[in-house]
Amino acid sequence: MNFLAHLHLAPDSPDERVGSVVADFVKGPDFLALPPAIQRGVRQHRAVDAFTDRHARVQRSIVRISKNWGWFSGIIVDVYYDHLLARDWSRYAHEPLRGFADRMYAILGAHAPALPMPGRGFVEWFVTDDRLWRYRTPDGIEDTLRRLSRRIAERIPNRAVKLHDAMPDLIANDAGLEDDFRAFYPELMAFANAWTA
């Protein structure tokens, strides 16, 4: 799952929501240097990712686009699932997406100065760019995939890829991906709630 889902699924605590975002920027045991409540958010993020990676419906979504995208299909599906969540937000949340996004930005912004780099820089950009709101549109998803492609090229130059070129495959498979997501996400919500409890 990507950032909108992680924030939505995180326990309703500012520190744990921050942990759900910075989890992608702290590797292995490095997160143990963070405050305990943020650590819990990181742990929950990792549990959500593990549940997601094993789920049959997610695997079905990956197969839908894997012919052209191979190993990168899981990353692409994660991002597209945030689009499906954003565009059908009222099915899964009572608070309007605009209000939720603004509330998350306030939490992230308040915590950003205390975060380790590169998480701090990412959070500052993420808030300024209004990324949660932009997930609603195909253009916002294409831009997210373009930015991910740049990060991959910087980290793993020999695996450089243009993930944004997956948009035609995603649009062609939108109905099936939406069907997979609608079956999967309520189960993920139940898992996240049980994990928190």
Give per-residue pLDDT as tens, 122-179: 888 889 999 999 999 999 999 999 999 988 888 888 878 899 999 999 999 999 999 9
Which residue's structure tokens are 């949660």? Answer: 132
Query: Residue 70: which region, alpha, beta or left (left: phi > 0; alpha: psi -120 to 50)?
Result: left
pTM: 0.93
Domain enclosing residue 169, as ranges: 3-196
What's the structural domain count of the chain?
Answer: 1
